[in-house]
Chain A
Amino acid sequence: MTANQNELLSALVDGELKGEELQQALQLLSTNDIARVQFQRHQLISDALHGHVTKSRTVDLTQRIADALLDEPALALPTKDKASVIPFPTQFWKQASGLALAASVGALAVIGVMNQSQNQLTPTNVNALASVESIPTAAPVRVAQAGDRWTVGEPEVEDRLNTYLVNHNEYAGASNVFSYARVVSYDAGQ
């Protein structure tokens, strides 16, 4: 072993190596037994100066531990890519897309019904406003009731809405995805 290599090991004891020199020292320790002994000697002096020595001065546990760890698999940190991605089952995507389709159709139906209702309500509102002018005490209640609720007096509209709701409930109940969405209804009487 050269004096330079020995000096490198002394600096390693002090934790003063980095980069290329650190690689060099570690390589030396893993391949050269004399280097290991020398490193231990440097370390022993440092330990002795700090009062860390024991009765058995020349402790070397490396071989014992290496033997004990012989059957241990080499460690490898899990890669983040594998850990962070949790694949959804294919069935989930099928159910989700079906549900999204049903929801879209339902929303379109509701918008259609609302538009239709508003068109139907327009004359009612005008009449109501007329009544407000003539009978100020009773009219505001009637106007509010008419504006807050869908008007499903038309049998055609009611049938269509019922069909959508039944389909929605059946799908939501069967899919097991959004079981809480089963209870959907309306009361035409309110």
Chain B
Amino acid sequence: MNVDLELVQRVQQGDKKAFDVLILKYQQRIVHVITGFVHDPVEALDVAQEAFIKAYRAIPNFRGDSAFYTWLYRIAINTAKNYLTARARRPPAMDVDALDATNYYDAPELKEFETPESNLISNELEQTIQQAIQDLPEDTATAIRLREFEGMSYEEIAQVMDCPIGTVRSRIFRAREAIEKQIYNTMSEEE
């Protein structure tokens, strides 16, 4: 079974810790999405928190018709739009429903934006990671590339690289470890 679905089912059965794992897994992406709409990063965190709380309350209705992230993404977008609408003192008559969300895309204050600072940090981080991948042994670099850039499953990578799934798993893990080291070395140098 899909890991997300397994986690969702656990939450539905009353396991709050399982929801913690879903937050850990998706918080970065959700904050990133919301930052695209809400200018202030502190406000973005508040909105992300609200989105996750809404998701928790709505999770009994999640039936797995779509991927969990797709569902969460829609909640996050709608929460951000509601927040902006409320902040602009033009509160909607009712909460923006997920189905109505597309109607709000044309509003100029709801456009996504990127600040030079956020671009710089993103670019810097990406460069560090790219450099770290280049420095990896060939097999390890190929495994992480196939996983992260091609979106292949471990099984598919094992077929492509003609090796056991366990080897793929450990190569990807070693790649992440090396990248982490590189990132934190770079961060330490900057500080």
Residues on B with C-beta less than 8 A from A17 are 3
- B129→A55 contact, CB < 8 A: no
Take A26-B17, A51-B122, A75-B11 as given contacts and tell me if A45 and B170 are in contact as well, using a CB distance cutoff of 8 Å: no
* In the assembled complex, B107 has its CB within 8 A of some CB on chain A: no
Is B41 in contact with chain A by the CB < 8 A criterion?
A: yes
Contact of A72 among B10, B12, B56 (CB under 8 A): B56
Binds B, one of A35-43, A102-110, A121-129, A146-154: A35-43
**Interface contact A45-B29, CB-CB below 8 Å:** no
Q: How many residues of A contact B (CB 8 A)?
A: 49
Total contacting residues, chain B, CB less than 8 A:
60
Contacts of A65 in B (CB 8 A): 23, 49, 52-53, 56
Chain A contact residues: helix, strand, loop or mixed = helix
With both chains docked as a complex, state the minimum distance between the C-beta of B166 and any C-beta of chain A, in angstroms. 9
Given the complex, which residues of B lie within 8 Å of A60, measured CB to CB?
24, 27
Residues of B within 8 Å of A77, CB to CB, are: 12-13, 60
Contact between B24 and A45, CB atoms less than 8 A apart: no
- B24 in complex: contacting residue of A15, A29, A55, A69, CB < 8 Å: A29
Cβ of A53 and Cβ of B125 under 8 Å apart? yes
**Residue A161 CB within 8 A of the other chain:** no
B117 at the interface (CB under 8 A from A): yes
Asked if A46 is at the interface of the complex by the 8 Å CB criterion, the answer is: yes
Contact B13 A76 (CB under 8 A): yes
In the bound assembly, the distance between CA atoms of A144 and B76 in angstroms comes to 77
Q: How far is the CA of A161 from the CA of B2 in the complex (A)?
A: 70
B44 located at the interface, meaning its Cβ lies under 8 Å from any Cβ of chain A in the complex: yes
Whole-angstrom distance between the alpha carbons of A69 and B15 in the complex? Answer: 12
Within 8 Å of chain A (Cβ to Cβ): is B91? no
Q: In the complex, A52 Cα to B121 Cα: how many Å?
A: 12
Check B121 against A12 for contact (C-beta < 8 Å): no
Are B49 and A61 neighbours in the complex by a CB distance under 8 Å? yes
Interchain CB contact under 8 A, B170 and A62: no
Q: How far is the CA of A45 from the CA of B125 in the complex (A)?
A: 9
CA of A48 to CA of B3, assembled, Å: 21
B3 touches A68 (CB 8 A): no
Chain A positions within 8 Å of B44 at CB level: 54
Evaluate contact between A53 and B28: CB separation under 8 angstroms: yes
The answer to whether residues A10 and B176 also contact, given A43-B28, A51-B126, A54-B41 and a CB cut-off of 8 A, is yes
Contacts of A51 in B (CB 8 A): 122, 126
Does B74 interact with chain A (Cβ within 8 Å)? no
Inter-chain CA distance A172–B107, complex, in Å, is 63
**Which B residues lie at the A interface, using CB under 8 A?**
1-4, 6-7, 10-21, 23-25, 27-29, 31-32, 35, 41, 44-45, 48-49, 52-53, 56-57, 59-60, 115, 117-118, 121-122, 125-126, 129, 147-149, 153-154, 169-170, 172-173, 176-177, 179-180, 183
**Sample of 4 more A-B contacts, CB < 8 Å, known A10-B169, A43-B25, A72-B56:** A17-B3, A41-B180, A48-B125, A57-B121
